[in-house]
Amino acid sequence: MPSASSRSSRRSGPRRPDLKRLRAALPPSAGAVLDDYERHLALERGLSAHTVRAYLGDVVSLLAFLRGVDLETAPDEVPDAALDGLDVAELRAWLAAQHADGVSRTTLSRRAASARTFTAWAHRTGRLAADPGARLVAPRPHRVLPAVLRPDQADDMMRAAAAGAAEQDAVALRDRAVLELLYATGVRVSELCGLDTGDVEFGRRVVRVLGKGAKERMVPFGTPAAEAVRAWLDAGRPALAGPAAADALFLGVRGGRLDPRTVRRVVHDAVGSVPGAADLGPHGLRHSAATHLLEGGADLRSVQELLGHATLATTQLYTHVTVERLKAIHDRAHPRAR
């Protein structure tokens, strides 16, 4: 029988090296390029800290491969060259090496997109004479249909949250408001945690959300979410507010802005209390909201606007979710399905 450690290794997949140490091992010229690219991603493109880290991690991996750097390489063994020799053949070799290490097609596709973004920037800023990423073709990722709650399961979760909040405990009031607003709006967890009290307009029942790329959008919410957020503001938030609260809509137990990790725990615990429900996090509630909107008759373009997707292609994944669910229902219910 395989050991617990080997089973865990297979579940987690190939392990990436310590990218912070790997970045430090790169030659100074490569480090300077990475510093400039980081500023470009954060300041010019306005990407979130999480997205910036992901882009940089991929580029650190690419440049380390290009220069033959690993954590055992002595600094004086690395030529001080940043992008010399970076061409499409090197990009393909970098992806091939990861494929040989067992990296999934989906991850390879994402890393290829990161490389293309980087080489386009390097060419545009004069660091590369040509853009090798423009000729890079990556494997198409497998589209995995996201797990979602059924509408009745979402109702069960919200009823349990409301029952917990009935005792007027501050944390329970917050958790109910978090769950209601996530499901009502389909916002990302980072967007939810970034909300301020002034972003909620109860009169029009909309919330102002700052999404990816610092793009602002207005997202409506219904009466249950309005009631839950109002109860939190009236009876819960004052009990938790500390010196670091400022204008944050949702607070942690220490009185500062709510952390996304806490939201993930809240959602996992809430979904886990619903019999038969898939194990979901905040993004699962986002998937559920989109799926239920489409099943209720919303058009794809409106759902794209609500979710803040840059392209309609991303939103179209949810049409596949609804089709798969319809097929499953047909297979169970129709006498001639089999």
Measured distance CA(102)–CA(97) in Å, rounded: 9
Would residue 283 show up in a list of annotated catalytic residues for this protein? yes
Would residue 309 show up in a list of annotated catalytic residues for this protein? yes
Rounded to 5 degrees, what are φ and ψ at 21?
A: -70, -35
Measured distance CA(19)–CA(1) in Å, rounded: 33
Catalytic residue among 111, 174, 188, 292: 188
Would residue 286 show up in a list of annotated catalytic residues for this protein? yes
Rounded to 5 degrees, what are φ and ψ at 278?
A: -65, 155
Catalytic residue among 67, 286, 287, 292: 286
Catalytic residue among 40, 45, 110, 283: 283
Look at the chain and count its residues: 338
Measured distance CA(219)–CA(197) in Å, rounded: 15
Choose among 71, 89, 83: nearest CA to 31.
Answer: 83
Would residue 159 show up in a list of annotated catalytic residues for this protein? no
Catalytic residue among 40, 127, 212, 268: 212
Measured distance CA(237)–CA(233) in Å, rounded: 5
217 burial class (0-12, 13-18, 19+ CB within 10 angstroms)?
Answer: middle
Would residue 318 show up in a list of annotated catalytic residues for this protein? yes
Measured distance CA(90)–CA(106) in Å, rounded: 20
Measured distance CA(80)–CA(30) in Å, rounded: 8
Catalytic residue among 116, 174, 287, 309: 309
Residues noted as catalytic? 188, 212, 283, 286, 309, 318
